[in-house]
Structure 1
Amino acid sequence: MKIVIVLLLFLIFASLGSALYYLVKDKGHDTRVVKSLTLRIGLSLFLFTLLMLGTYFGVIPLE
């Protein structure tokens, strides 16, 4: 479970970095920034849901 969480966090930061790159490169005239940020939001929501379900079903113990 830890590997999945770290992988998702890496993907979220990579999407954020690509959005910054496209923002600087395209000067805001293309939709790649919006697509990257939309992907980041989707991954963040998926990670949040995964953490909540993992806690609920006992995969992630509360200590």
Structure 2
Amino acid sequence: MKVLLIALAFAAIIGSLAAALYFMMKEGEGDKPKSGHMARALAFRVGFSILLFICILLAWKFGYLRPTGIPLSG
């Protein structure tokens, strides 16, 4: 369940980055004035990234996630 939530958050981050790329390519053509779609998509990406980081830190703090790296040897 934990891995699924983290994977969904990463998918949202990548999706908003892809949306920003789409709007950048679409709005860069012609003399049409640019709207704020690209900036909004990038702002959502930053927001999703910060939210994911905070959620992972809180899950670690409350014991829902445990590090499984190389154990320290003394």
How much has 1:30 moved relative to structure 2?
Answer: 1.4
Give, in whole Å, the separation in 2 of the partners of 1:34 and 1:42: 12
What percent identity do the matched residue pairs reach?
Answer: 29
In structure 2, stretches of 5+ residues that fail to align are: 69-74
Deviations 1:9-57 (A, max 9, x none): 0000000000000000011711000000000000000000000001100
- In the alignment of these two chains, the number of paired residues is 63
Question: What root-mean-square deviation, in Å, do the aligned CA atoms of Structure 1 and Structure 2 show?
Answer: 1.1
1:62 positional shift: 1.9
Q: Which amino acid aligns with 1:18?
A: A
- Normalised TM-score (structure 2): 0.81
- Runs of 4+ more than 2 Å apart: none
What SS is found at the alignment partner of 1:59?
A: coil
Q: Which has the larger radius of gyration?
A: 2
Alignment correspondent of 1:8: 9
Higher relative contact order, chain-length normalized (CA < 8 Å, sep 6+): 1
Structure 1 length as normaliser, TM-score? 0.95
